[in-house]
Amino acid sequence: MTTEPTPRPGRSTRVVRDATAADAAACARIYRPYVLDTAITFELEPPAEADVAARIEAAVATHAWLVLEDAGEVVGYAYGGPFKARPAYRWSCEVSVYLDPRWHGSGGGRTLYAALLDRLTERGYRMAAAGIAQPNEASNRLHASFRFEPVGTYRRVGWKNGAWHDVAWVQRFLGEPHVGPEPPPEPR
């Protein structure tokens, strides 16, 4: 028996907005299959809704966490967070994007990343980095389409689903680099 893919509403019903803790259940639902069924994330247990709510609040306080809604349903999210804890790294951030599997290939990842990178630039960040567990051709293509450049690969750094996985690191500059930038927001 063959099943047809779930039809997706048109792009006109899509809305990108800031996430709130109230979006935690939807974000946890979207993230769960990535944790359980793939090596795209190296988490081994899906985070609880309360943990996702705390992650959203932390990201919104200093960076950004955005959700993509379609007809009122959260179907994806993207966020930025600290690249490293030491103060000299404060103009750099790490980014990620996740879509409900029904939305793969819909352009939702591009929509979210465009909004996220704009928001991080507005907040004063000057470099975005992403670690991509390999293999992951869809993510590699997405990042390349946003002019992320490869900067290196950590070989065999993650063991998940019975295999070692590499993590390819990519980066992209945000905004115009300049000497002595104003620091991004401090945590609230």
Q: What is the pLDDT of residues 132-173, one digit of tens each?
A: 999 999 999 999 999 999 999 999 999 999 999 999 999 999
Rounded distance between C-alpha atoms, residue 37 and residue 30, angstroms:
12
Helix ranges (H only) for 38-104 are 49-62
Number of domains in the chain: 1
**Distance of alpha carbon 39 from alpha carbon 134, whole angstroms:** 8
- Whether 65 is in a domain gets the answer yes
Residue 42, domain CATH: 3.40.630.30
Residue 96 lies in a domain: yes
Q: Does the pLDDT value for residue 6 go beyond 70?
A: no
> Within a domain: residue 46?
yes
- Predicted model pTM: 0.88
Is position 75 within any domain? yes
Q: Taking CA 116 as the corner, what is the angle to CA 39 and CA 50, rounded to the nearest 5 degrees?
A: 60
Q: Does the pLDDT of residue 76 top 60, yes or no?
A: yes
| Per-residue DSSP letter, 41 | S
pLDDT of residue 89: 93
Confidence of residue 7 (pLDDT cuts 50, 70, 90): very low
Residue 102 in domain: yes
Domain of 92, in residue numbers? 13-129
- Each residue's pLDDT tens digit, 57-72: 999 999 999 999 999 9
Residue 152 resides in a domain: no
Per DSSP bridges, beta strands 127-133 and 92-99 are: parallel
Does residue 181 or residue 23 have the better pLDDT?
A: 23
Quick check: is 17 in a domain?
yes
pLDDT for 1 beyond 80: no
Kindly state whether residue 92 falls inside one of the protein's structural domains.
yes
